[in-house]
Structure 1
Amino acid sequence: MPEIDLNGKKIQYEVSVRRVRYVRIYVSPEGKLYIVSPTRRVERFLKEKEDWILSKLEKIERAKNIRGFPYLGKFYPFRDGKIFTDNKVLEVSDKRKLEKTLKNELRTLLVPLVEERAASLGVKPKRIFIRKQRTRWGSCSPKGNLSFNLAMLALPPELIDYLVTHEVAHLVEMNHSKKFWTLVEESHPDWRKKRKELKDWWVIIHNNPIWREILGGRE
């Protein structure tokens, strides 16, 4: 794998050569650097993006150093195979049981929020799914089904509410048009700030060893 020196830091990267017009760069939540480019000669481009790349990697390193299990926006201690939250103890050894418990908790939390947002917009989803989604927080299908990422249970309540609002709004507008964001803004005028916060949480969750193992399966 090729390597480049950015401000004294040796960074490996992977290039995917495709028929694209511009070079695109991605930093995975785990800190891997991927480039999509019409050519393998990307060193100059990486140097130009040095500050951006290093800032992303620094954020990931901070996330890796966070201790505890992210749950509803807080970080709870993990010891002796158990997670100690404010009102319960979660056993980590039985991954299937833990996943089932977390899914039930998220569903219990989500259903009233979905019903409230749907009623305010005059819509009704057909079904609600909770899945281990690898690339997104949620989705709305053309059939009117809503899917939410199990990892949402790690988030602060206000971000969970925003994600519910976002997906329910898609029952009215399936795209991200101006009308769509107007609907979202009625409940979350600070949606731009929340979207940035979600990016930070995505990195935190995918660098947490327990969440990473929970989410390791296919959707």
Structure 2
Amino acid sequence: MPLIALALWFMTREAPSSSDAPSASPGASEPGASRTAPAPSARPRASYDPADYARPVRAYAAEAGVSARLLMAILYNESYKPHDPKLERAWQRYKPEAAFGIANMHRAAFDATKRGRDFAHRRWEELPDDRGLAIEAAAWHLHDLAAQLPARRSGACTRDELLALGYNTGASNMLAFARGVTPGNQAQSYLDRLRNNWGKAGSALAR
């Protein structure tokens, strides 16, 4: 019965749209990234606020050469569901292809991203318990997506918006959007939430 209730919660839950208006569009300047190494990953707390992870976001974004504000905005986008390790694992037993961790990363993306990196020995199954690892993997996944973007692009999306869409929909769709293809309803919803979370992400990093 608890598993059925959990399944119903996930199936009926919709990602909330933020009421925060963005202070600038994705791709604009962001708070300076810190080179300070993140503190050792702590076990997840009962409550979760992406802003509490500003330090590792800044550090891992700097290491990967990606926008810390983009990474933080993605964490806000992916915070629509409870990131409790037990709940995530219960849902994964019901839906094996579900994503893990606060950055909602799928197994294939994690396994591809970790190759040749400092966390190559880590396992996807560790993501629910290690939020630092989840942030690190997300940062390098964005790095790998950025390497695939063409220098010349068309369409209304900024570089950071395209990377966020790539994170959500995959590299092939990202490249299509970079050619000017209009995002579908789900991709547009993700993009709208990213824009709504952009100001919140900047505020979190400025703390």
Q: Decide: shared fold, TM above 0.5.
A: no
Structure with more relative contact order (C-alpha pairs < 8 Å, separation 6 or more):
2
In terms of fraction of residues, the more strand-rich structure is: 1
Which entry has the higher C-alpha Rg, 1 or 2? 1
With normalisation by structure 1, the TM-score equals 0.30
With normalisation by structure 2, the TM-score equals 0.31
In terms of fraction of residues, the more helix-rich structure is: 2
